[in-house]
Structure 1
Amino acid sequence: MAMIPGTGRFTAVVGVLALGFALGVVKLTGPYGSPPYHAPTRPIGIETLTPRPGTTGAVMQVVAHQDDDLYFMNPDVDRAVRAGTESVTVFLTAGEADGRNGPGGRPDPQAYAAARNNGSRAAYAFMALGDRAARWERHSVRLRDGAHAELDRLVDAPNIKLVFLNTRKEEGIGAHGRLRTLWNGSERELDTLAPRDEPAGGPYTYTRDGLIDSLADLMRAQTPTVVRTLDPEPDRQRHDGAHPVHADNGGVSDHQDHTAAAQFTWEALRRYNADRPAASAAAIAYRGYYNERWPHNLAPAARERKDGIIRVYGWTDRVRHCPGRVDCGDLKVRDTAPGTNWPQSTTYRYPNAGVRPVLGADGRLTAWAVLGGRVTRWTQDAVGGPNWSPAHSMPGPGDGELAPGLAAVRIADGRIAVFVLRIGGARRADRDRFEILTATETTPGGELGPWRGLGNPDGDGRGPGTPVVGVDGAGGLYLFVRDRDKGISGRHRPAGSDTWSAWRDLGGGEIVEGPGAVTRPDGRVVVFGTAREGIRYWEPVGERSGPPRTIAAERPAGPPAVSVGADGRVGVAYRRAGTPEIASVVEGGPNGWVPADSGAAGAGYEALSRVPRPDGTTATLTRDADGRPIVLGASGAPVVLDERTVAVDPTGAPDGAGHAVALWLGPDGALRTARLP
């Protein structure tokens, strides 16, 4: 067919104009064809986040999506809200996904993001006041890179605040990147979405540093004593018919936005902590989607409360209770939450985050924790005395951030050695590394000496848990971690040597939680881990370890709590999955274990600590259903140690005078102690 003269060039020109028009529309309308850029309402100052005078402690949650806190952090968030704690939850993404609010819905990303934000407001109002329709003050607040976020305050419970950054969750028309690609440097900028009828305006653009510094600025304004976030390094996961991919990312067991949100939070914590004169904030990380693959740990009452809050977020009854033109909740959650296993557990990525007590060479008890990215030590003023020195913060390794859950042991010369897990520390964002580090007091009770890297079992800088250390009768050290393959790996340093063995896998398959270690009266170190079929334990000797043995524990969940009783027998306490029940077993003879005392306390997921008493009995420390630290004995009602809700489980140890002492961090981050009854 003959071409009409000049039409080829005309067609090309029309094509170029059409492309230019399309790009212009995208530029003017923003991603997904959202409304043209509109100015925010008049912003308020970020200092609005400052806790009210007279309040004690503050908590901050940083999550990717509007339901992450409800699925993975409750009951902890609910407890703090109901206790009146100053609470700020920061949502990094708009959570718009495909823009459909429930099956069959019309794609409208701005409306769906706004509906999810409505669901979050309803859930927090319900937690705080029992009224999902309670009124909020809604404002714009200016952050880095010229972006504005939405800052909401619950009018009748002004201790509750929400911040929505609205970064784009998915790639779409005129869009590029998401949290993961901004974190790893694949994209230099990430746009926001402008939810319908919300005060922040937009869309805006964040750089990587701008987003990190915005989070650090929010922390500086609120000065939290607890920062909660998600898992920066999820377990590996083989996906097959029994373990479908769902929303997992590649070969790991969680959503990529969850992981990136955690990575941004840990880096923001590092920057926030770096310019503070004293350590204060305890960091807590929560497992995400892979809750569905482990034993469910919430007791029925806790699960019912958690489900009820999620139903409020999901606008289950469709009764309109919110102002504005968009839906009052996330109908995707309403339709899918009953069929998932995510709400049935609350699981800490680093479960042994409590204070670590160690008896010093002079007989005074010391206490160690990671606070504000630093190793913090407290010391009894006198042997067996009730008073303690103020917190003494010691420099960290200076690169990366320290995970909660350190190990501390006294070595043969009386000094105390500390072992930590460093998160990050890579010069490039896509090469974060996770490494075990150790430092030792220069003299007993003195400062920590230089940090030394011990690597990790996987050799590629990925994935171990926090360290556990045992000291044998000769003074040799055994270091254990839960490794990337979900087993236990260890290193050994013989007595009198400064040289550690190579990492080795102890064998025996997966453990769900652990490890926990204890030294027998004969000087042998024993290490335990919770498996699906029971409590597994190993008795390593030097660089060798025989096959593990299994204690026939009924439906164990959570990390094992191990101790040696006055009679020299090792005891192990654990939670029974899906209940508030606490069971324990004790050595009954060669290779035999028999049931010991049992009880019930908490919501089913709190960690346990075992402490021998002077009378020969063993006490169990944990938190109750309101998050208060308690002690359980062989009989009688639990004894409440502190009427306030605390974020980290209590621990305990005998002091130099033989008293059994409980230790915990109060809501203000300060050490609290008590002699056990």
Structure 2
Amino acid sequence: MSPARQLTHLQILAHTDDDLYFMVPDLLQTLRSGTAVVCVYLTAGEADGRNVPTSDRNRLDYPQDFEGYTTGRQSGLRAAYSAIVTGRRDAVWKRTTLDVRDGVVAEVNTLEEGCAPVTLIFLNLRMGPGDARVRLRTLWTGDSEAQETLRPTDSPIPAASGSYRFTREGLLTTLVDLLEANQPSVVRVMDPDPDHTKYGDGPTHYCDNEDHTAAALFAMEALRRYDVAGHPQRVTTESYRGYWNKLWPFNLSGAAFAEKVKYLSIYGGEDGHTCDQPLLCGDRQLGNRSYNRGYGQSTTYRYHGSTSWLRRMRDGRLAAFGVLDGRPVRWLESAAGSGTWTGPESFGGSAGADQEAFLPLLEVVRDTDGRLHAFGIRATFSANIYGHLRDVVLASETDRQGEFADWENLGNPYNGSGPNPIKRREIGSPAAVVDGKGRLRFFVRNFGSGMSARVRELDGTWGPWLDHGGRSQDGYHAIRTGRGTIELYGGSVGDGVQPGIVRWSQQNAEGAIKPAYNTLLPAPAGPPTVVELPDGRLLLLVRQPNTAWVVAYRQERPGGRWDPTAHFLGGDGGIGLLAAMVLNDDQGVVIAQRNDAGRISVCLQPASGDAFHTRWVDLGGSPVLRTPAIETDATGLPTVAVVGADGRLRSIRLSVAKGVLTPQEWVTA
């Protein structure tokens, strides 16, 4: 068996189309690498029980058949996965059953044919037909003692619908059992903390399906228990936005979105195949509507994180930071400039109680003394809607050997009294910077889509939470300019002004940080990346909506207005943040991104006013996770680091000569 086939990625989902809608293209890259995929679907997704196109004016005249509609959805899912891994929709699946907790019997479908093994596990919790109060959400909160399961019409499950009942604890321990049985290196879940669309004057409304949220909370709590118990395979967790995608500019390239629609069309039975068994036609309620729903055009991570997680320490060694098994870890270069690694090892004492887990990524900043400071978000998941905690935490380097102090809890802007427990779940990923006076600052998006911040004074004391206003999508880039001022950039949400890039800045190093919407730069498909050029101007890099092309903008002068001229750099598609670094000796700006194939592409652009180009180098190798980071090592070579699909660190050094990047070999820690 090849090493790739020994890996497993596990997905925990509410419905049978959640992975196709919200986890592609990552899912496709995993399968094409030969990695086994196990998908766990919590609900039967039976809706109103009519497997009839929603465009049919007479659909309400059709009888309700909840078991039949679930059969159609699961048949469509098998067809879609068959097409992904074998190239055709009608591969043969092995269908068996699995006894899980609470005496429940689940259905297991396995497909060994094709480029990667696929296992689909259906737990078939009823969504609650009609006005029934029982939902996945009420099972999570404990408002429902137990929830019935449904038996699809053609399932090998032996007993009829309603014969089995899952309790909250039974579902959680079933998920832990499945994690232990499969030992995944990556677990994909939905968004446990979606953005709100309405707050006040009644219940809070969110921009996602409540089953997505509850499934994510069940998954995160099961992962916490699994991590506390310990396991040999290190695991990386990824969380994906759901219906939120339709609210912001679309981030997939045309090719990536077309491929997503292809498999959704197979799932919906709209791929032109001949269907002589109505129960097996697919999800006819979706049918050909995958394109016009608006949330398939993007794939977005709930926690953007940053590209600052690779830094050079004071002794010259590189250090890479991440989160594995719900805890912060660090890889260290074995010697300065060696390009080889040790680790991962935990860092920072008292990383958190067993009831807490770190969210996926860390932000790392270097101060004026060269010391490193790592920021993260520590979470506690609760059945009580007022019991959730999401706190910014910090661990700081204490000596030249790279030791870190204990993690310090810096809190949340909504940890006070009143309705704040609801608000604190929507905290964004921290962005950090050292200001012109040498003070450490961090910034997070808050419940109101504005920016909250705290400042650490030179004596080590932290000031109160500040509100810098503005409104933006999640994901900031903070930079201290050569003039000693701080600037931050994010994608604005409109709100009465033209959607585009919002800029927070200071007039001088002592000035207040204030937002402005007058950059005249169009809305990006994700968070921007900003670097300072040798002449003091800033260079801003974003992805263009609908194409995923990398686009560059320059300031007209240091601290001045932005030139709205868009410079198209190409970039091989892809999603996620762009990593960039200005090299010394006028060698240019290195940019790295994860492309549509899930690999890393790099380019070297001029740091002067010369024309940009569209020449990129694909560094090859297997698909990787998330976003790359760039740092120069002790020899001056730019080094790109990523985390692989096996949760291991990979790095590659780049030689630079006469404007040309030449990659060396990938090194795995």
Match of 2:406, SS state, is coil
* Change over 3 Å in CA distance of 1:290–1:623 after alignment to 2: same
Alignment partner, residue 426 of structure 2: 463
Alignment partner, residue 608 of structure 2: none
Residue deviations 1:240-289 (CA, integer Å, cap 9, x gap): 9xxxxxxxx95211110010011111111111111226672111111111
Give the conservation status (yes or no) of the 8 Å contact 1:122–1:312.
yes
How far 1:238 sits from its partner (Å)? Answer: 3.6
* Change over 3 Å in CA distance of 1:563–1:278 after alignment to 2: farther
Give the conservation status (yes or no) of the 8 Å contact 2:492–2:523.
no
Alignment partner, residue 437 of structure 1: 393
How far 1:549 sits from its partner (Å)? Answer: 5.0
Residue deviations 1:81-133 (CA, integer Å, cap 9, x gap): 22222111111100011111124132111111111111111111111111111
- The alignment covers a number of residue pairs equal to 615
Match of 1:311, SS state, is helix
Match of 2:140, SS state, is helix
Give the conservation status (yes or no) of the 8 Å contact 1:353–1:648.
no
Alignment partner, residue 121 of structure 2: 163
Residue from 426, 429, 454 that aligns with 1:491 = 454
Residue deviations 1:34-60 (CA, integer Å, cap 9, x gap): xxxxxxxxxxxxxxxxx9866353211
Looking at structure 1, the residues matched to 379 and 472 of structure 2 have their Cα atoms a distance apart, in angstroms, of: 22
Give the conservation status (yes or no) of the 8 Å contact 1:661–1:674.
yes
Looking at structure 2, the residues matched to 458 and 327 of structure 1 have their Cα atoms a distance apart, in angstroms, of: 49
How far 1:616 sits from its partner (Å)? Answer: 3.1
Give the conservation status (yes or no) of the 8 Å contact 2:9–2:37.
yes
Looking at structure 2, the residues matched to 180 and 550 of structure 1 have their Cα atoms a distance apart, in angstroms, of: 42
Residue deviations 1:416-437 (CA, integer Å, cap 9, x gap): 3221112225585762222212
Alignment partner, residue 511 of structure 1: 472
Alignment partner, residue 551 of structure 1: 519
Confirm or deny that 1:132 pairs with 2:89. Answer: yes
Match of 2:122, SS state, is strand
Give the conservation status (yes or no) of the 8 Å contact 1:118–1:328.
yes
Alignment partner, residue 243 of structure 1: none
| Amino acid in structure 1 at the alignment position of 2:485 | R
Looking at structure 1, the residues matched to 448 and 299 of structure 2 have their Cα atoms a distance apart, in angstroms, of: 21
Alignment partner, residue 397 of structure 1: 352
Residue from 355, 361, 365 that aligns with 1:409 = 365
Given the two structures, how large is their TM-score scaled by the length of structure 1?
A: 0.85
Alignment partner, residue 621 of structure 2: 643
Confirm or deny that 1:606 pairs with 2:580. Answer: no
Residue deviations 1:597-641 (CA, integer Å, cap 9, x gap): 532224453321112234431121112221111112234632222
* Change over 3 Å in CA distance of 1:368–1:54 after alignment to 2: closer
Looking at structure 1, the residues matched to 37 and 84 of structure 2 have their Cα atoms a distance apart, in angstroms, of: 12
Confirm or deny that 1:626 pairs with 2:626. Answer: no
Looking at structure 2, the residues matched to 476 and 446 of structure 1 have their Cα atoms a distance apart, in angstroms, of: 21
Residue from 90, 102, 112 that aligns with 1:145 = 102
How far 1:231 sits from its partner (Å)? Answer: 0.6
* Change over 3 Å in CA distance of 1:290–1:353 after alignment to 2: same
Given the two structures, how large is their TM-score scaled by the length of structure 2?
A: 0.86
Residue from 62, 65, 84 that aligns with 2:12 = 62
Match of 1:599, SS state, is strand
Alignment partner, residue 17 of structure 1: none
Confirm or deny that 1:227 pairs with 2:178. Answer: no
Gaps of 5+ in 1: 1-50, 241-248
Match of 2:377, SS state, is strand
Residue deviations 1:195-237 (CA, integer Å, cap 9, x gap): 1121234432222122112112211222212111111111111
Alignment partner, residue 560 of structure 2: 591
Confirm or deny that 1:285 pairs with 2:239. Answer: yes
Q: Show the 5 A alignment for 1:651-662.
A: 651-662=629-640
Alignment partner, residue 263 of structure 1: 217
Looking at structure 2, the residues matched to 74 and 343 of structure 1 have their Cα atoms a distance apart, in angstroms, of: 9
Q: Show the 5 A alignment for 1:350-361.
A: 350-352=303-305, 356-361=309-314
Residue deviations 1:391-442 (CA, integer Å, cap 9, x gap): 1134631232211121122345654322111222558576222221222345
Give the conservation status (yes or no) of the 8 Å contact 2:525–2:548.
no
Q: Show the 5 A alignment for 1:150-229.
A: 150-157=107-114, 159-171=117-129, 177-202=134-159, 203-229=163-189
Give the conservation status (yes or no) of the 8 Å contact 1:494–1:542.
no
Looking at structure 1, the residues matched to 194 and 399 of structure 2 have their Cα atoms a distance apart, in angstroms, of: 38
Confirm or deny that 1:675 pairs with 2:653. Answer: yes
* Change over 3 Å in CA distance of 1:64–1:360 after alignment to 2: same
| Amino acid in structure 2 at the alignment position of 1:623 | R
Match of 2:286, SS state, is helix
| Amino acid in structure 2 at the alignment position of 1:333 | L
Alignment partner, residue 246 of structure 1: none
Alignment partner, residue 30 of structure 2: 80
Match of 1:61, SS state, is strand
Looking at structure 2, the residues matched to 543 and 423 of structure 1 have their Cα atoms a distance apart, in angstroms, of: 33
Looking at structure 2, the residues matched to 603 and 214 of structure 1 have their Cα atoms a distance apart, in angstroms, of: 38
Looking at structure 1, the residues matched to 208 and 78 of structure 2 have their Cα atoms a distance apart, in angstroms, of: 25
Q: CA RMSD in A?
A: 2.6
Give the conservation status (yes or no) of the 8 Å contact 2:572–2:601.
no
* Change over 3 Å in CA distance of 1:268–1:156 after alignment to 2: same
| Amino acid in structure 1 at the alignment position of 2:560 | N
Greater Cα shift, 367-376 or 273-282: 273-282
Give the conservation status (yes or no) of the 8 Å contact 2:9–2:36.
yes
Looking at structure 2, the residues matched to 368 and 227 of structure 1 have their Cα atoms a distance apart, in angstroms, of: 19
Looking at structure 2, the residues matched to 120 and 344 of structure 1 have their Cα atoms a distance apart, in angstroms, of: 19
| Amino acid in structure 2 at the alignment position of 1:410 | R
Looking at structure 1, the residues matched to 6 and 307 of structure 2 have their Cα atoms a distance apart, in angstroms, of: 19
Looking at structure 2, the residues matched to 327 and 239 of structure 1 have their Cα atoms a distance apart, in angstroms, of: 42
| Amino acid in structure 1 at the alignment position of 2:587 | G
Alignment partner, residue 26 of structure 1: none
| Amino acid in structure 2 at the alignment position of 1:610 | A
How far 1:376 sits from its partner (Å)? Answer: 1.0
Give the conservation status (yes or no) of the 8 Å contact 1:501–1:543.
no
| Amino acid in structure 2 at the alignment position of 1:69 | D
Q: What is the aligned-residue identity percentage?
A: 35
Looking at structure 1, the residues matched to 255 and 94 of structure 2 have their Cα atoms a distance apart, in angstroms, of: 32
Gaps of 5+ in 2: 494-498, 606-612, 655-660, 662-669
Larger Rg computed on CA atoms: 1
Looking at structure 2, the residues matched to 54 and 293 of structure 1 have their Cα atoms a distance apart, in angstroms, of: 37
Alignment partner, residue 250 of structure 2: 296
Looking at structure 2, the residues matched to 187 and 238 of structure 1 have their Cα atoms a distance apart, in angstroms, of: 25
Give the conservation status (yes or no) of the 8 Å contact 2:501–2:522.
no
Looking at structure 2, the residues matched to 344 and 371 of structure 1 have their Cα atoms a distance apart, in angstroms, of: 29
Looking at structure 2, the residues matched to 485 and 674 of structure 1 have their Cα atoms a distance apart, in angstroms, of: 40
Alignment partner, residue 666 of structure 2: none
Looking at structure 2, the residues matched to 424 and 359 of structure 1 have their Cα atoms a distance apart, in angstroms, of: 32
Give the conservation status (yes or no) of the 8 Å contact 1:227–1:284.
yes
